Amino acid sequence: MRVVIAVLLLALCAGAAFLFFSVGDEMARPSGGSSERPAHERTVPAPERGGDTQRRDASPQPAPVTAPEPTPPAPTPALEQPVEQPPANVVVTVRAASDQRAIAPFRWRFTQAGAAPLFGESPEADAGLTLPPGSTGALRIEADDMLPFADPSFAVPAAGADARQLDVFLDGQMAATGITLRVRDTTGQPVQHVRVDAWRIEPGQRDTAWQLGQALWARRADAATGDYTLPTLEPGDYGVRALATDEHGDLLPLLPFRRTFTVTGSNGFVEDVFLEPACALRIDFVTGGGEVLDPVAHGAVTLGLTLAGAPPQPRMWTVRDAAGKSHSAVDALPQPGTVWLAEPLPAGTYHLEVFVAGDPRLRRPLTLQPGQVQTERIVVP
């Protein structure tokens, strides 16, 4: 009995094994009896061009459409706030002294020590001026063909006070002939000593450096009022320069006045001249050994003084000898000794160049101070 059972178990195992291998063979064989290789053994046909093995679709695909980004709204411009002008604290009314008629237009100028002058022009006979509250300065009011009004100690109302009413009555002036200069500094004080030079110029020379040529005449004058009437000039074109000096004739640190005039013999000019602060420069040139630089012994000395950032300009240099006679030259040292510029210069930084016998010897910065007579000792190697 046991033998029979064992035989049956062996027969069942053999049948199950046969069935398993038969099913696996059917799954491995391709359907329909084809001899096609498995997918991993197939030969992929080469593309028609280029060797590109990437699959290509038969129909072109449309490019993706990108929605435009929304434009940000433009910023709203800020509204400009109106600038409030301070109210006028001086109200001026200008009339003629003879018949009380209104005088317009008129010009005004207010100056105080240590501050830039204020000035303007009114097209009407009545005008409101806004001046520094609580200040005191020189107020000048003028109009054509009228003598000017001047108050050297005009007081401006304090902040918050009522505006000051100023009634000005101007006298007429006689028709002028010749040239009259009324010279003041920026505080309105008269310049009591001046030197006036006159040049005869051609009409085409008005815009040239006529002040570097030989003057027709040069005269010193003194006037406590600062008013100077030039000598009579024959008809023609003239260049006029006025320089502030001390009582000895030495230059003061004020800018020069220069202007051209056409004189006909019957016309006249009355000029209100205000001289701004400047620097009157003097230089002592010495050698490295401490000797005075002599253009005769050491060779011609050429000078150049140029404001930083500005184009070169010719300048007149002057030396006074032991006898008191002045010698001048353009861009050169005319004589040994202290040399000064013929005209004071605006304050600022300049470049000084010195050539001796054509050789460059020195180039250095030189700072000019406003309102000073400035003396420099320059050593030339």
Mean pLDDT score, 237-261: 96
**Single-letter amino acid, residue 66:** T
What are the φ and ψ backbone dihedral angles of 259, each rounded to 5 degrees?
Answer: -160, 155
Strands, DSSP E only, in 236-278? 236-244, 257-263, 268-275
Euclidean distance between CA atoms 59 and 7, whole angstroms: 69
Say if CB 379 and CB 365 are below 8 A apart.
Answer: no
User: And the tokens for 155?
Assistant: 């007081």
29-75 residue pLDDT tens:
444 444 444 444 444 444 444 444 344 444 455 555 555 556 666 56
Other CB atoms within 10 Å distance of the CB of residue 301: 24
Q: Are the folds of 178-275 and 279-380 the same?
A: yes
Could you give the CA distance from residue 62 to residue 102 in angstroms, rounded to a whole number?
Answer: 86
For the chain, the residue count is 381
114: confidence class by pLDDT, cuts 50, 70, 90: confident
Q: pLDDT tens-digit profile of 183-207?
A: 999 888 999 999 999 999 987 788 8
Looking at domain 90-170, which CATH architecture does it have? Sandwich (2.60)
Would you list the domain boundaries of the chain? 90-170, 178-275, 279-380
Q: Which CATH architecture has domain 178-275?
A: Sandwich (2.60)
**Across residues 284-302, what is the average pLDDT?**
95
**Chain center to CA of 222:** 37
| Mean of all residue pLDDT scores within the chain | 83
Is the CATH code 2.60.40.1120 the one for domain 279-380? yes
Phi-psi group of 194: left, alpha or beta (phi > 0 → left; psi -120 to 50 → alpha; rest → beta): beta
Residue 81 has pLDDT above 50, yes or no: yes
Q: How far is it, in rounded angstroms, from Cα 305 to Cα 315?
A: 8
Which pTM value belongs to this model? 0.60
CA distances to 198, 241, 286, 313 from 339, rounded to whole Å, are: 23, 20, 12, 18
Minimal CA–CA distance to 179: which of 214, 225, 227?
227
Q: Measuring CA to CA, which residue among 315, 300, 319 is closest to residue 350?
A: 315
pLDDT tens, position by position, 128-155: 999 999 999 999 999 988 888 989 899 9
As a whole number of angstroms, the longest Cα–Cα distance in the chain is 171
